[in-house]
Amino acid sequence: MANRTLRQCAGRSGPVMHPGLDEWVSGGTHLRWDGHDIFYRQDGPVDGRPVTLVHGFPTSSHDWAPIVPALVDAGHRVTTMDLLGFGASAKPVGHAFRIVEQASIVVEVWRRLGVGPTALVAHDYGVSVAQELLHRDAGRVTAAGFLNGGLYPDLHRPTRAQRLLHGPAGVVLQHVITEPMYRKSLREILGREVGEVDLHDMWRATTMHNGKRVQHRLLRYIDERRENAERWRSALEGYRGPMLFIWGPADPVSGAHVLPRLNERFPNARIVALDEEPVTGHYPQVENPDAVATALTGFLRCGSADHDEL
């Protein structure tokens, strides 16, 4: 029986409830894509303003659960999905996972659900998916938001665990990962405290459906980012719609060292550095959901206002 536990996070008007992993998954469904089951869900009014959220590595769409209530309250129709190899979606062993394939999955989810123009918000691994989507059809994206991720390969600093799993030994090492090891690796990139139950849900999202067995192949995205560096840089810097960057500076992977380039390359974007103590790290939407929800709903409501307003 699914665990119906609801989590509590701080909200501007009092506590905001969001579902635990089991509740999150039970509230969605699956579609078939190229022989694989892809988990997705939609929240909010059917006629709400569309926004699509794309998650990162190695977790799932459940990372967005703490901010979805605020988006729904603001009148948005929120589409989320677990990319292939993640969360409640299929995790085919031996599959050659590619960012370009993940972008095609997002497009297919949009097609099946009748999603037309939509705001697009992405984190971590998902930022590369978003860049590929901008390359294919930037006109479909009404506004683009990014949370800590490797937008520029030369600034991406993988963790030691990621380097080991990405290397030749990764095919063996992925099988011996334990939950304590996983939590330790996550805590190295977090700036704020994340609860034990939330960390456990992140572990379960990663490892369900034999998820350990695909981590090495999923990490090939590091190579794909280098191979497509110019294509994705051009798509990002050439986008002319409203842009928002919500950034956790305490992140050693894609944190404070990325902000100077964002300020240089995107002078008209809104850039929100979550630098209030305790400084936010790699998972802003999990560590500091109230600040993320405030920035994101304000941005989607007002468009590309000067980032100094926040």
pLDDT for 214 equals 95
Amino acid at 278: P
pLDDT band at residue 303 using 50, 70 and 90 as cut-offs: low
pLDDT band at residue 9 using 50, 70 and 90 as cut-offs: very low
Number of residues in the chain: 310
- CA triple 115-120-121, angle to 5 deg: 140
What does pTM read for this prediction?
0.92
pLDDT over threshold 50, residue 108: yes
Q: How far apart are CA 151 and CA 130, in angstroms?
A: 10
pLDDT band at residue 166 using 50, 70 and 90 as cut-offs: confident
pLDDT for 116 equals 97
Mean pLDDT confidence for 178-187: 95
Q: What's the first-to-final CA gap in the chain, in angstroms?
A: 44
Q: Are 65 and 24 in contact (CB under 8 A)?
A: yes
**Beta-bridge partners for 122:** 54, 146
How many DSSP H helices and E strands does the chain contain?
Answer: 14, 10
Sketch out the chain's domains with CATH numbers.
Answer: 14-303 (3.40.50.1820)
Q: How far apart are CA 290 and CA 272, in angstroms?
A: 13
pLDDT band at residue 18 using 50, 70 and 90 as cut-offs: confident
Per-residue burial over 96-116, b = 16 or more CB atoms within 10 Å of its CB, e = otherwise: ebbbebbbbbbbbbbeeeebe
Share the mean pLDDT of the chain: 91
